[in-house]
């Protein structure tokens, strides 16, 4: 599998980032461990998780995904061959949330313990914390970098304006600087990123690792009428896409997929990979879905296919 340099880092990563949000949620521990082995063997060694995954599941407290990854690292011995990304900042209960320096120091230790590692390649602010000064957050990250516990830091769910403020704050304070942005971006969700964040990304030379790259599964083509989403784990998320525009996008994906001999999911991911500095995150809950991710990493769409998909999806 080909690799690319991740923004202003020394990290070489594949064109796809494997989403770990499903580990311990829609994918059990044994299945998760098998998938991690299969992904690694295929060269898919760039993995994203977060401390909060999967606290939303009844009976879960957060950290379930990191814990499974930690078991895999301990059992496989493959930690040094993986580019590992996790996040901090979402509500973990009992007042554990945000990006204050003292909380980051505690949260990173919890993540390192669950992950059974002594360093994190990419530590990301899961969402903006407007109550905490940006230089305080970035200063805390700088100390973690100096201690060797974190290699690089990234931002997620920041507006373009706040991302620019953060980049300038880090520069002025001589503190850590974000090297990646993790926004919502896919064929169904384009305007927010392309109009607000992309100019800042280009200005500061950041890499982009968008989440929900397959629009919560809609772009796989398995949700084509409301009843397809009924009762599914992400059914409520995809319902808003089942309309005329969504049907246009699926039709374009079907057409391109037929021409290039790929699945709609692989094509949707390849569209993102072709965008400047973008390495999409996608998760899989079956061997077939993982195969689609691996195939997308080596799929190059021609100009006609890109134009067709751009036209069908518009800028919404």
The answer to whether the Cα torsion of 252, 258, 264, 269 is positive or negative is negative
Closest alpha carbon to 176 in 202, 150, 206: 150
pLDDT value for 234: 59
Q: How far apart are CA 64 and CA 68, in angstroms?
A: 6
pLDDT value for 227: 64
Active site residue 204: no
| Position 150 in a domain | yes
| Position 130 in a domain | yes
If you compute the radius of gyration of the chain from its CA atoms, what whole number of angstroms results? 19
> Which structure tokens are listed for 39?
């992904």
Residue 59: which CATH number?
A: 3.20.20.100
Q: How far apart are CA 182 and CA 208, in angstroms?
A: 6
pLDDT value for 315: 60
> Which structure tokens are listed for 252?
């374009």
| Position 223 in a domain | no
The active-site residue, picked from 23, 53, 152, 241, is 53
Q: Do 171 and 198 form a contact (C-beta atoms < 8 A)?
A: no
| Position 169 in a domain | yes
Q: Which helix (H) or strand (E) holds 178?
A: strand 178-182
| Position 271 in a domain | no
| Position 145 in a domain | yes
| Position 305 in a domain | no
Give the total number of structural domains in the chain: 1
Domain that holds residue 175: 4-182
Q: Do 16 and 265 form a contact (C-beta atoms < 8 A)?
A: no
For residue 123, the 8-state DSSP code is E
| Position 102 in a domain | yes
- Residue ranges of alpha helices (H) inside 29-63 are 29-41
Walk along the chain (316 residues) in steps of 10 and give the mean pLDDT of each run. 94 98 96 98 98 96 98 98 98 96 98 98 98 97 98 98 98 95 98 97 98 95 74 69 94 98 98 97 96 97 98 81
pTM tops 0.85 = yes
Q: Do 181 and 153 form a contact (C-beta atoms < 8 A)?
A: no
Q: Do 23 and 73 form a contact (C-beta atoms < 8 A)?
A: no
- CA 13 distance to own-chain centroid: 13
């Amino acid at each position: 599998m080909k690799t690319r340099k991740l923004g202003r880092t020394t990290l070489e990563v594949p064109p796809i980032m494997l989403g770990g949000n499903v580990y311990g949620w829609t994918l059990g521990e044994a299945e998760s461990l098998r998938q991690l082995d299969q992904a690694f063997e295929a060269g898919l060694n760039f993995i994203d998780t977060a401390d909060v995954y999967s606290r939303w599941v009844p009976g879960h407290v957060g950290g379930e995904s990191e814990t499974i990854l930690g078991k895999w690292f301990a059992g496989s011995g493959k930690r040094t061959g993986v580019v590992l990304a996790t996040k901090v900042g979402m509500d973990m209960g009992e007042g554990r949330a945000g990006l204050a320096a003292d909380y980051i120091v505690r949260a990173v230790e919890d993540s390192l313990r669950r992950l059974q590692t002594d360093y994190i390649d990419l530590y990301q602010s899961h969402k903006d914390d407007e109550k905490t000064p940006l230089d305080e957050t970035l200063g805390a990250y700088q100390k973690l970098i100096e201690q060797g516990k974190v290699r690089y830091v990234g931002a997620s769910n920041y507006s373009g304006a706040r991302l620019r403020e953060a980049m300038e704050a880090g520069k002025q304070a001589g503190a850590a600087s974000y090297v990646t942005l993790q926004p919502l971006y896919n064929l169904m969700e384009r305007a927010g990123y392309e109009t607000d964040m992309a100019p800042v990304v280009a200005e500061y030379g950041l890499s982009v690792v968008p989440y929900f790259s397959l629009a919560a599964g809609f772009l796989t083509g398995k949700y084509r009428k409301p009843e397809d989403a009924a009762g599914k784990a992400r059914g409520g998320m995809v319902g808003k896409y089942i309309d005329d525009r969504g049907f246009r996008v699926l039709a374009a994906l079907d057409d391109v997929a037929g021409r290039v001999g790929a699945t709609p999911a692989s094509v949707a991911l390849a569209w993102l990979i072709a965008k400047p500095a973008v390495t999409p995150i996608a998760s899989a809950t079956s061997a077939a879905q993982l195969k689609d991710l691996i195939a997308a990493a080596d799929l190059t769409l021609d100009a006609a296919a890109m134009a067709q998909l751009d036209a069908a999806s518009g800028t919404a």
